[in-house]
Structure 1
């Protein structure tokens, strides 16, 4: 059977369509996206959500199978309003709903049906990876050999390359996880034997994206075509002690954040013939969430962008949390507001951190430093400007940029070549130098200070524009003098928010993002590059940041019997604020710290029915027991509850710091709280009213044992 015929038979009856954007609402949720005008006879795929939760939140007398049958019956009753068409997907665990092909007129009929909460048109979302123009860090994540035993992390992404040693069945993973019911779906290029004791589940969903829209080179299986899913999975839970060797350079050993955790893969993101159309259809994402929740994963990672409103995907994520699943999602990589603004999702933004450094030592001249990932140096060797060694017939400008084939090998052999940045990939330039028999490269910015530590074909130092000008001037004055290019360890720059990491909406009523982690040049496993045997690569974006938080949550869930909301609170209240004047709408609680989160002292736990009431518009965001506070207007009081998850009674005192324009009082100012006890406190904005749009600070409980429990406080106009 052909590859495409296999999928069509598997999903029959399935109506495949191009993914299109827009939504219709039934008027029952204040969070739904606005509708887009549509022709009555235009047919497209729609996501239809019915009132009430899926089976993950059901606590009634019926068996789960009987309750699911009731949900299907309710779905069929609504479908009868448009002629009982067959749905493409049904959801009965994380969501009560379905995906179905409709005309515009039929979509409006369904939106008006009793019991229908939301009708939203299928759309394609981008993976939350970024080209990232920031200075980047290039460390090996994790650094631990243990953590996550017995926990399953579900990864909804572009699949996985299972042949990497970070996904091998190694000793020390511990007993098989209890309660996980996932499977390894067989497909072309993916026999069931592909899975093992590390990779315990693998499924794939393409009906929303459409097989006709998938690149012919893609594998209709859980196998990764893009590399993104493999990197995310390895960052979250790659095995420990795996040697990292790239192009002859040994860079140490690798470990994911939770190396003993198991992985379940849900491929819902696809490559298209046109790379601009790559992405993840919302219908496939919701189906993956529903399936992962039914399978019984403990942690769910979603490194996919989305709208700032609460949509069908976020509603399904609520069902996952109600099914005892911790959810980490990427905030997104653009200048807009953060995606996944729902209070039940741990939304993760990105920082830029330490950088692997190198330096160029010029005799009787300055030493300049920049980004360099290579662990081996070059020299003494002479330096040559690329524009001075153009190959016969090559244009000088092509040589200056080190385009492939533009350099004269006779002049480049044995030398360090200075190449200008721009127009082609950075790694393509070092490959051109290698092909011309050069031994090293200086990648010179023409403008700006942005530098990147990449895996190059020859040892490469990437310099900011001012330092590159110094090198050019020195080379012109000393063309015969040899220099030394050498690694210089790590820089000491404090973490800062990436310029492309999405910020939270100060008018949303909820502080987002929740936490930040490094999101630039994070190392992960990768499918083999088409032009080399490289098995590792750096990734940038809030996708890498979310993967780290998923690993941290797995470590905590392996150690404690905490709810997803308690785990979220532990990660947030133990986070380290970034240095400088960084508002909470950029950093949330700050940089998450897994070790400190293991002993949070107090947690802000929330009863899950409160999220349903919020979703229905019955309660405001301020009343949710979030580990953050956003106040609007001149004055106001909110309450919060903290629970002692320690083993001893403890005294805590309250402090408010960081606000510049308001006075805030915490009542009571001190508490004594026994193990397992919950205490309520009030936070009151005393004013005065100011015209400032945003005031950001912290409410901190300081324990007698030194534990600090800190949450962000935002006062928005």
Structure 2
């Protein structure tokens, strides 16, 4: 729930969809399947949920940053929550929060107070009460709590940290000592050997031999060495305000001088749905994700073994950095990866800043393209307080524009994931015959079956399952070897290992059918890609593993050819795979960023098959293991966090923006896309792959502080910055253009002819240096740098301008280049990302009334002919539906009928635009419904093309130039109140389309026919004769000599 104009507009449409469509303007969409009739329930305006309320007064960190010198007595002082003036101010905020909460009325209950990174609170209240607070002048934002997903032995060598010449760990002797990294994640395995603050006392080599540990004489002679106290590795930290919270399996002494703090945040998660019964309500990690990230960044050097097999020596990037764990992410029932509520995350950030961390590792995010969420703003406050945050780019690649929140924020370092040279090990089974197939195949063990380490090794023949039935529930087609029904070849399967195809039914059903047939184990083969961990709700008494599609097809071919296949299942079997470095992960989310003129990701780092610490207390995963190989941008993030700790140790006065600049401007670009051959570009890796040693001495940095970020917030109309503050900055000469934020990259998303951006660099070396600009211009773009050379004394700053002018080549496509400032000793590289546009026009304009007029500007970037055409206006197809609440809060298509409801649409050919929408006002109560959209071009095979998951039921998904065929829109019951029969929601879903040749004679446009580069023209739109009681949708298309280049959507409410 946000207080903005768009939200207000949607609220205003309550009850307007009660009339029929006007003749001739009705939707051409057709329902592709029946929708059952449902009964409205009584609206439940009193249903409670958690809301996050942000107040307009600045948080304590912003208060401190604005008056740093006066409060702390010196300009560069770090934030200190124990400072008397800070304490007094924080108490004032707490008092104000209580006053605002009281205005919500009886029953509103605060669960969290945010005072340091955010000024606000989380409270359980009704939607009506939240709406009441949203209208108060002292309230900046109101959000409904939402769920966000969580997104090494060769890495230090691959990053050249131990190089004798310039290596941060080798030549410079940096190890992160004195730096505190806060990990906001799934908790921590406090007893992990990589997190000890002591080591065993040294013993003579003879005492560690078999003779010294087993013989009577050896044990007697060595007893005095074994009685020596452990060697202390870490002293008590200074300036630390954190604590070690206790709970089940996490005592007060679980923390030490290495793991110096641990907290957990449960209220938001508990209020949003069930938590897995195996979860522990303490900082203890039962997922493994949090321990993995912490030990990747800051783990001690230790021996790593998996299932008793030695994997090598591993250590973190900054092994002497201290660790503080903030458990804000929890396992939902049967989930294998934790998810996190924004209310919990916001308080974790608040506490981390107040506790005194230097760096936050934030491997959390979602695909929502918004930078005005609670954690975005809390991390902005953290940056102002001097705390650097590293954020995972996300795992939604390789499609473009998959960077979400808070990864899209310019005040964090956003990290993609790529490979590093070395090798990794995979669990494996071994095929022993036939010889043509013999060898080890990678596997993943199911989380509900009998553990292989307790039931192996198993040697047996592999038998293809046969259930004699190819029909699946709902009429779909399966195979006879998907084991979705009882097996008819039980006599063959008994005492053997069953071979089963993935798909058609739940994994636990397949395994149960094989077990009933007498199988001693199950091997499931994937139908697409590599093996995954199989999950199920019903346990099995036999082991079950999955192999990948390619291996599965090979085995299937041999079985179908009549060959006898035998294999061994043994937990000690591994398959060693060589890794090629500098290849982007296909999953790594790509740019462009959610906000125009911001380049994301910033950098890439190792994130594929990373060996690091794990938790032996894992729930819904393998238990008893201290180490694991994991992959994702969550794994690359702690690499950057650890390297940042080394740089921060070397340069303790550098700001977060300075550290970010150093990493960005020294990155290298010798990285390929996921195919291993195509060079990666700025949307893959930002500036490139981190080069830690070079980042320690960047020469120049692009610094940014309060004024820079506040001006940027004014430019994007962020409500957290007051209009008074924006006016103050503008009067002081600050730029209100997003492209002028002083970041090391330069991105211009809409270059209409020419644009000039300004940057400021600061010399962080100890000598005056003269730099010359070297430009690798984006193709077809003229780049002029003024001045072309600069001389910068130590500690001083110089500004320069970069003018980008379109010269040639196709319009409306991104091009990439670079600007490098070269001196005798340094190369300071800024990536350039430019999208020249033929024209710039509003994406959407709105009007109201049965008849009316509106005008909007269009800026042109070329000389030549132009035409504007009318499409529509058309009224929507309105369908009523019902959806149950999804208990695990995670959408999958299998939720159909039990947490999700599918709506099937047939879209005709030659359409210009397609829109699906839900509205808060058109549900039967106070619900949070989401939409997931699939396109089925052949009316059979469907792929997801997008989603909309706002904090309320105000959802919208648009498709420009949609292909003809079937579209399936799933309405997901993320959080609902009650309808007849239990939790659920009744809603109306609306769909519009308008065609490429679709003038409905109810709208006209007046526009020029010839334009010139750099000119701005006004287009005038008139409409008439619209029926009341609906919203019409249409468009004005823009055609240049190159063809159709864009559509301005026209929405008319009547």
Map 1:253-652 → 2, pairs under 5 A? 253-273=313-333, 275=335, 278-306=338-366, 307-309=368-370, 310-334=372-396, 336-340=402-406, 341-354=408-421, 356=424, 386-387=462-463, 397=481, 465=550, 469=554, 490-492=578-580, 494-505=582-593, 508-528=596-616, 533-561=624-652, 562-577=654-669, 578-579=671-672, 580-617=678-715, 618=726, 619-631=736-748, 632-634=750-752, 635-652=754-771
1:106 and 2:120 correspond: no
Deviates more, 1:607-616 or 1:529-538: 529-538
Residue 296 of structure 2 aligns with which residue? 235
Task: Please tell me whether the aligned partners of residues 497 and 587 of structure 1 are also in contact (alpha carbons under 8 angstroms).
Answer: no
Tell me whether 1:24 sits opposite 2:112 in the alignment: no
Query: Distance in 1 between the 2:249 and 2:746 partners?
Result: 49
Residue 522 of structure 1, CA deviation: 1.6
Counterpart secondary structure, 2:263 = strand
Structure 2 SS opposite 1:142: helix
Say whether 1:682 aligns with 2:806: no
User: Do structure 1's residue 119 and structure 2's residue 148 form an aligned pair?
Assistant: no
2:178, 2:649 within 8 Å by CA — same for their partners in 1? yes
Q: 1:542 Cα shift?
A: 1.6
2:481·2:501 contact (CA, 8 Å) conserved in 1? Answer: no
Aligned to 1:158: 186
User: Is 1:714 the equivalent of 2:834?
Assistant: yes
1:142 maps onto 2:170 in alignment: no
TM-superposed CA distance for 1:52, in Å, is 3.7
Unaligned regions of 5+ residues in structure 1, if any?
1-22, 129-137, 374-382
CA contact (8 A) 1:123 1:281 kept: yes
Superposition pairs for residues 13-52 of structure 1, below 5 Å? Answer: 23-25=1-3, 40-52=45-57
Aligned to 1:83: 105
Whether the 8 Å contact between 1:181 and 1:296 is mirrored in structure 2 is yes
Aligned equivalent of 1:379: none
Higher mean C-alpha deviation, range 317-326 or range 304-313 = 304-313
The CA deviation string for residues 418-447 of structure 1, in whole angstroms up to 9 with x for no partner, is 99888999xx99xx9xx9999xx9998766
Between Structure 1 and Structure 2, the one with more strand by share is 2
SS in 1 for 2:705: coil
Q: Distance in 2 between matches of 1:191 and 1:524?
A: 24
Aligned partners of 2:184 and 2:361 also within 8 Å = yes
- The 1:622/1:442 distance shift into structure 2, 3 A limit, reads same
SS for the counterpart of 2:113 is strand
> CA contact under 8 A between 1:139 and 1:356: conserved in structure 2?
no
Alignment deviations for residues 77-127 of structure 1 (CA, whole Å, 9 cap, x no partner): 433432385522111111111112232222222222123211111111111
CA separation of 1:148/1:32 partners in 2, compared to 1, >3 Å: closer, same or farther? farther
* Aligned match of 1:131: none
Whether the 8 Å contact between 2:59 and 2:118 is mirrored in structure 1 is: yes
443 and 112 in structure 1: CA distance in 2 versus 1, 3 angstrom threshold: closer
Query: SS of the residue aligned with 2:2?
Result: strand
Distance across 1 between alignment mates of 2:94 and 2:424: 55
Identify the range of structure 1 (254-263 vs 515-524) with the bigger mean alpha-carbon deviation. 515-524
Which of 168, 189, 198 matches 1:170?
198
> Which residue of structure 2 aligns with residue 6 of structure 1?
none
Tell me the CA shift for residue 142 of structure 1: 3.4
Query: Structure 2 CA distance, aligned partners of 1:654 and 1:406?
Result: 78
CA contact (8 A) 2:197 2:234 kept: no
Residue 251 of structure 1 is matched in structure 2 by 311
Partner of 1:659: 778
In the TM superposition, residue 275 of structure 1 has moved relative to its aligned partner by 2.9
Deviation at 1:584, TM superposition (A): 1.7
Task: Compute the displacement of 1:147 (Å).
Answer: 1.7
Q: Find the aligned partners of 1:682 and 1:347 in 2 and give their Cα distance.
A: 25
CA distance in 1, matches of 2:395, 2:244: 32
Larger radius of gyration: 2
* Distance 1:686-1:153 versus aligned 2 partners, 3 A rule: same
1:351-402 residue CA offsets vs partner (Å, 9 max, x unmatched): 24555489999999899999799xxxxxxxxx99834799xxxx99479xxx
Residue by residue, what CA displacement relative to the aligned partner does 1:585-641 show, whole Å, maximum 9, x if unpaired? 232112122222112221111122321232234423212101111112221000111
Deviations 1:168-208 (A, max 9, x none): 11368554433221011122322111101110001111111
Q: CA RMSD in A?
A: 4.5
Between the aligned partners of 1:385 and 1:494, the Cα distance in structure 2 is 41
> Number of paired residues?
653
Contact 1:407-1:436 within 8 A present in 2 as well: no
CA gap of 1:221–1:124, structure 2 versus 1, over 3 A, is: same
Provide, for residues 487-532 of structure 1, a one-character-per-residue CA deviation record: whole Å limited to 9, x for no partner. 7762435412423535333762211111112222222211225765
**Matched residues in 2 for 1:101 and 1:716: separation?**
48
Mapped contact 1:32–1:118 kept (Cα < 8 A): no
Query: Paired residue for 1:92?
Result: 115
Tell me the alpha carbon deviations over residues 38-77 of structure 1, each in whole angstroms, 9 at most, x when there is no partner: 9743422111111242111224467112211222233234
